[in-house]
Structure 1
Amino acid sequence: MTAVFLPKRAAVATLMMLSCCVARAGEPADDAGATPRWSVGGFGTLGVVHSSDDQSDFTANPLTPGNAGHGRDWSHSVDSRAGVQLGLDLDSKWSAVLQLVYESTLRYGYHPVVEWANVQYKLTPDLSLRVGRIALPLFLVGDYRKAGYALPWVRPPVELYGAIPITNSDGVDATYRWQSGDLHHVTQAFYGYADLPLTPTARAQARGIIGLSNTTTSGALTVRASVMASDLSVGLGRELFDGLRQFGAQGRALAQRYQLEDKRAQVGTLGLSYDPGAWFAMGEISRFNSHSSLGDTTSAYVSAGYRYRDFTPYVALSHAHANMATRVDGLDLSGLPAPMAAAGAQLNAGLNQMLMEIPRQRTVGAGVRWDFYANHALKLQVERVTPQQGSAGTFINVQPGFRSGRPITVLSAALDFVF
């Protein structure tokens, strides 16, 4: 059976299969006596990953950690997940959707997570409002980044998508569809917050999330630009920063500069995709500034692929760069008594260790996708990932023997499907 893969069509097909709003778009609606219509869909990925470095673990997302490398020779937790979506169309204006994703989490291991849960009201055919838990419209594949079948690769490039691991927010948004000449636009404004558990005692909170996204399509070309800001707090490293404050004004200044507590973080993204059918090319660039030890980074990738029958070979190149110093002098310890100087030296080392965790990394990868059956795809992917300039890149669980600057081979295989 021939099951041709086209990136744009696969994404559209996935969203249609998972969207209650279009589940029965072809059926006429009689609002006066409309009967609620239900729809159920889902997606899944069965994946395994191997990393050649046994002094760290490869992960695609710091909030859904994997353990390929030091933890396990082959890991299933990096990419494997399952999702189910329940949709309800009340009439031609009102609809609701609930999406649950079962995947690896920081606190609970594999655990079901509410990814979407919102109610939509269409004011006009072109203007709609939603309230509830809504996907953040960042990046080209941000709407379906967890539905692997819609992606040409095993996973989105980790340098870019791992830098903004928050995928949804609780709040409201407004979406307006409009046209200028041959250009079709979808403009989305959103506001909300996100609260995520990290450890038994720490959480990540993004308050006052506000943003604007615009997607423009013209034939085979798609362009998405997004900006977002929020007050970001991450409850990690508090002992370090409390210790710095014990050293007077200079310590308080360092804590104020680097502690991630109610910092106004901003992100801007720009992505382009061209998909005429026989081949595709796409790329994105993002700038994220947390005004803290989490970093100020620029990340980007380019990728291209060619379709031949049921097979789509592809290549990708991605990079993450730090726009700030990742090593600082820290506390001035001159003239301090020996015990205080020793304590201060430990605090300086802890601060620099935290700054060294800001990813600086380059990845070169290639793979092939085989659409062997309708709504099913098998992918094989190989990457050479090189953390740079003393950084561990996007690798986690780093051991004392880890060496930055050495290429690490990451092998991935995944079976993706939608239903």
Structure 2
Amino acid sequence: MHKSSPCPAHVVATRACALGVVLLASAGARAADADAVKWTFGGFGTAAVSHSDNRQADFSSSVLKATGAGYTDAWSPHVDSRLGAQLGVTVNKQWSGVVQVITEQRLDRSYRPIVEWANIKYQATPDLSVRLGRIALPVFLAADYRKIGYAYPWARTPVEVYGAIPISNSDGIDVSYRWRANGVKFVSQAFAGGTTLDLLNDNEVKSRKLTGVSTTAEHGALSGRISAFSSEVTIDLAEYLFDGLRRFGPRGESLADQYEVERKRFNALTLGATYDPGNWFAMAEIGRFTTHSFFGKSITLYSSAGYRFGAFTPYIAFAGAKARSSTRDPGLPLDGLPPAQAASAARLNEGLNYLLMSVPAQTTASAGVRWDVRRNIALKLQYDRVRPDERSRGTLFNVQPGFSARPRVNLASAVLDFVF
């Protein structure tokens, strides 16, 4: 975003590079008079194309996109492409603010911009700060830069892990405190808020009463993050299914209450660490997610490593998601029902199990190379082999009737990331 970025071209996805990319807007302000109002502007983007050999389903980087590579188009630019801009202001040593706007494909197939961040910050002391407004949700290692592809080595963050929480921000407040212990630098955050995401046909995802804590730690080349949060979630999705189930008496009522996402508590715990001495890196994250709805319980993880040869960084990664709750339910009993009601109940059972298939259970093996073409531009070529488990469509969507059990998806991606 700013041509004086502190990241050396051969260093990618390190703590310093990620921080430098995220805080570019404030870098220029620090060089000016501390008491003068300073405005800064920068941007970032990804131009990408992906090819999938499976034409029975779409692969994409987020469930909040309408199309992907595979069923809709064998070659798709929508999987990873995005453009962002960031405006920052520093009023004085205590007060500053930032607005970040991003455009990428949405569920209505448009590229209408969305406001990713919009907050003001009060630096009460050198170690204590408070932010108010729309803030990055401090979950996962890449929480502060998950939309900025230049800041990490891969074509995209692992979908099994990061896709488990497609919401990347929250409207509310957070408090951060920096501290040290035994030579380790810590930053602890407490946050509270909520958010609303628009889906199709006036449907919404509402996250209310969101509260959590997060702590990052850094010691030399080793850094890590642990986060936990809880939220009350409502999703206006498949109401026809749950209304239909309730018409079948107590068993239907029980199924609807069990699987409907109506003010259901969603709990998440994530832990990640990275070791990056300069010439190579290794990193891993694990997450546990629980909700009493059709999303059920799941555990996700990934591990990745790479080695830097000048401007080139070959890397490998393995990611997986495992459902810890059932992805199939016998549903309504059909015995003894009149033929018309039995047919209706069978369709409802089929719809319920289609929802349960949406609980991701899959593995992905990846290999790729990053080439830092110049200081602010990186080209990445990546191959992924995605394999959903039986009775799950994994992270795939737009699934077609010919979608077979345990299919393999071979995905090839070319990604050009840049900051300015």
- The alignment's TM-score, normalised by the length of structure 2, stands at 0.96
Aligned to 1:7, what secondary structure does the other structure show? coil
Aligned residues: 412
* Deviation, structure 1 residue 108: 5.0
Aligned to 1:289, what secondary structure does the other structure show? strand
Corresponding residue to 1:13 among 14, 20, 34: 20
Q: Distance in 1 between matches of 2:405 and 2:96?
A: 50
Return 5+ residue gaps in structure 2 as ranges. Answer: 1-7
- Displaced runs of 4+ in structure 1, greater than 4 A? none
* Deviation, structure 1 residue 209: 0.7
What are the residue-to-residue correspondences of 1:10-409 with 2, within 5 Å? 10-17=17-24, 19-20=25-26, 22-29=27-34, 34-409=35-410
Q: Distance in 2 between matches of 1:50 and 1:253?
A: 43
Residues 339-391 of structure 1 show CA distances to partners (whole Å, capped at 9, x for unaligned) of 22221121111111111121110100000000010111000000110011131
Q: Distance in 1 between matches of 2:263 and 2:340?
A: 33
Contact 1:6 1:277 in 2 (8 A): no
- The alignment's TM-score, normalised by the length of structure 1, stands at 0.96
Q: Distance in 2 between matches of 1:349 and 1:205?
A: 26
Contact 2:170 2:194 in 1 (8 A): yes
Return 5+ residue gaps in structure 1 as ranges. Answer: none
Q: What residue in structure 2 maps to residue 4 of structure 1?
A: 10
Q: Distance in 2 between matches of 1:102 and 1:263?
A: 30
Q: Distance in 1 between matches of 2:241 and 2:67?
A: 27
Aligned to 1:25, what secondary structure does the other structure show? helix
Residues 44-70 of structure 1 show CA distances to partners (whole Å, capped at 9, x for unaligned) of 100001011011111111013442111
* Deviation, structure 1 residue 250: 1.2
Q: Distance in 1 between matches of 2:407 and 2:334?
A: 34
Contact 1:100 1:116 in 2 (8 A): yes
Q: Distance in 1 between matches of 2:109 and 2:279?
A: 43
* Deviation, structure 1 residue 14: 0.7
* Deviation, structure 1 residue 295: 2.6
AA matched with 2:11: F
- C-alpha RMSD of matched pairs (Å): 1.2
* Deviation, structure 1 residue 28: 4.7
Identity across matched positions, percent = 48
Q: Distance in 2 between matches of 1:42 and 1:187?
A: 28
Aligned to 1:261, what secondary structure does the other structure show? coil
Aligned to 1:406, what secondary structure does the other structure show? coil
Q: Distance in 2 between matches of 1:164 and 1:45?
A: 21
* Deviation, structure 1 residue 3: 2.6
Contact 1:10 1:149 in 2 (8 A): no
AA matched with 1:336: L
Q: What residue in structure 1 maps to residue 5 of structure 2?
A: none
Contact 1:55 1:401 in 2 (8 A): yes
